[in-house]
Amino acid sequence: ETFTPEGLDEALYHGAVLRVRPKAMTVAVIIAGLLPILWGTGAGSEVMSRIAAPMIGGMITAPLLSLFIIPAAYKLIWLRRHKKSVS
């Protein structure tokens, strides 16, 4: 527990910023590969489109969780634990 609340903010910010480009590129490539499967009309397309749709949804929500929700939750938990140890 060497972080101050300000240092924690900076660490979370820089950690998220460093991961934006690689995550965005990965998500874009995977979604670009899944869209033809989702919109396909060939043999087996009914089954494959049902598989591709949730995968696209997951590829959109997972990076949002890892870039915004998880750091915010970590900060809240850290602040709560830090306040208990100070009191």
- SS3 for 4-66 is CHHHHHHHHHHHHHHHHHHHHHHHHHHHHHHHHHHHCCCCCHHHHHHHHHHHHHHHHHHHHHH
What local confidence, expressed as pLDDT, does residue 8 receive?
A: 87
* Nearby residues of 5 by Cβ (< 8 Å), 6 or more positions away: 79, 82
- Tokens at 44, concatenated: 């087996």
The first and second tokens of residue 80, run together, are 């709560």
Residue ranges per structural domain of the chain = 15-86
- Predicted local confidence at residue 83, as pLDDT: 80
Token pair in block for residue 76? 């809240």
The pLDDT profile of the chain, 87 residues, written as one tens digit per residue, is 567 878 888 888 888 888 899 999 999 999 999 999 999 888 888 889 999 999 999 999 999 999 999 999 999 999 898 886 655
The Cα–Cα gap between 82 and 1 comes to 8
What pLDDT, on the 0 to 100 scale, is given for residue 27?
Answer: 95
Q: What pLDDT sits at residue 4?
A: 82
pLDDT at 63: 93
75 token code pair: 């900060």
